[in-house]
Amino acid sequence: MLQLAYIEKPIIETPREGDVLQGSITVKGSIDVIGFQSFEVYFGYNSDVTNTWFLLEQRDEPVNRGVLTVWDTTQITDGNYRILVKVFVEDSDPIEVIIPNLRVRNYTPVETSTPSTLQESTQPADNGTPGNNLVGSTPTKSTENPAEITVVSLFTNVVKGIGIAFLLLLLIAAFLYIRGRSR
């Protein structure tokens, strides 16, 4: 039986700590460790003190420099997250690798000091197959938030409200005046 070269501990290639994530993100790496049985990939809130994790993938075949899972970040609220890869091995505790400070920014503007921006691309990969190419250092243009309240819009709406209230009071006064004169 031919054995592949095993690695000592799991390696996560992408995403990396501090990356900005948008859309569907491919989590790539190698988890083919000695005594491999299965692996799980989770995501969680970066600053969660309860250590709560949400399962993304669970498989029992090893991966060597390949796709561990695809994470659709459009299904969660923008914020800072982390990924946990847990590899179960024979006769030992699971081996865990955590990638912290992953900045999901699908619906909010990306901060100006971004190390890189990762997003799904539909361009062909280097090998000619369409795939999960990660586009680096290319921030996407943020769309305006229609629910955003600006000082100008707030002031404009307050002035309109005062004007409408004044007209209503004027109409009520006119109605009462006419009603009083007709008696």
User: In Å, how far from its chain's centre is CA 148?
Assistant: 20
Confidence (pLDDT) at 17: 92
β-partners of residue 103 are: 20, 80
DSSP notation for 100-138:
EEEEE-SSSPPPSS-S-EEEEE-SBPTTSSB--EEPPS-
Read off the pLDDT band of 180 (50, 70, 90).
Answer: confident
DSSP notation for 34-77:
TTEEEEEEEEEETT-TT---EEEEEESS--SSEEEEEEEGGGS-
Read off the pLDDT band of 91 (50, 70, 90).
Answer: confident
Confidence (pLDDT) at 92: 85
Confidence (pLDDT) at 124: 41
Residue with more model confidence, 49 or 117: 49
> Does some domain include residue 157?
yes
This prediction's pTM: 0.58
99 and 37, same structural domain?
A: yes
Local structure of 181: helix, strand or coil = helix
178 and 106, same structural domain?
A: no
Q: CATH number of the domain at 50, please.
A: 2.60.40.10
Host domain of residue 169: 149-183
